Amino acid sequence: MEQVIERIGLTLSGMGMPRMAARVFAAVLVSEQGRVTSAELAATLRISPAAVSQAVQYLENVGMIARDREPGRRRDHYRLLSEHWYEQMFTSRDRMLVAIEGDLTAAVGAIGVGSAAGQRLDETRRFFAYLRGELPKLIERWREREAASGHAEQA
C-alpha cells in the first residue's frame, strides 16, 4: 500500500507538483474514505508533522484538498476537494497557457511579425491560443463519455 502511494507520488511530482505535496496527495487519493488525518499522513509517509503541514497548505492553495474538522474533535481531516481532481490540472494548465501566450505576444510585439523569428513566435502563440480553446472541449467530451459508459457518479 505504501509502495502504491510512493509510486503515485513520484508520478505526480514528475508532473510538476512539489515532492512532499505529491506524496501527501497520493496518500489522500489512495485512502479508502478519501480523507485522512495529519497524524495518519505523518505515520504512513514517515515524515514530520511540519512536513505534513506545509504540504497540506500547498494542496489547499492549489485547490486539490480541503480541511475538515468535526465539531468537538481535535483532529483535522484532509479530504479530496473533488473526485475528479485530475480535471483540476487543466485549470492550472490553463493559467499557464495564458501566461505563455502573454509572453509570446510580448515577444512578437518586441521583435515584429516581419522577421522570421517573429513569425516563428507568432505561430507558437497561435498554437497555445488554440490549446486554450480546445482543452475545455476535451474535458466536456470526457464527461459525456463517462456519463455514456455509466461510470459517472456525479457527487
Can residue 50 be called a binding residue for DNA (CB under 7 A)?
A: yes
Question: Of the ranges 6-14, 39-47, 49-57, 63-71, which one interacts with its own copies (CB under 8 A)?
Answer: 6-14
Reduce the secondary structure of 77-137 to three states and give it as a string.
Answer: EEEECCCCHHHHHHHHHHHHHHHHHHHHHHHHHHHCCCCHHHHHHHHHHHHHHHHHHHHHH
Question: Of the ranges 48-56, 93-101, 115-123, 144-152, which one interacts with DNA (CB under 7 A)?
Answer: 48-56
Q: Taking a C-beta distance cutoff of 8 angstroms, is the pair 75, 39 a contact? A: yes
Can residue 81 be called a binding residue for DNA (CB under 7 A)?
A: no
Task: Indicate which of its own copies, DNA, none lies near residue 81 (CB less than 5 to 8 Å, by partner kind).
Answer: none
Can residue 134 be called a binding residue for its own copies (CB under 8 A)?
A: yes
* Residue from the set 5, 12, 20, 80 that interacts with DNA by CB under 7 A: 20
In the complex, the smallest distance separating the C-beta of residue 103 from its own copies, rounded to whole angstroms, is 5
Cα separations (Å) of 58 from 6, 61, 64, 129, 139?
A: 18, 5, 9, 28, 25
Among candidate residues 91, 23, 14, the one with its CA nearest the CA of residue 59: 23
Among candidate residues 136, 19, 35, the one with its CA nearest the CA of residue 81: 35
At 110, list the grid cell.
518586441
In the range 29-68, which residues lie near its own copies by CB under 8 A? 29-34
Each residue 79-118 as x (binds its own copies by CB under 8 A) or -, in order, gives -x--xxxxx--------x--xx--xx-xx--xx---xxx-
Q: Which residues bind DNA (CB under 7 A)?
A: 18-20, 37-39, 47-54, 56-57, 67, 69, 71-76
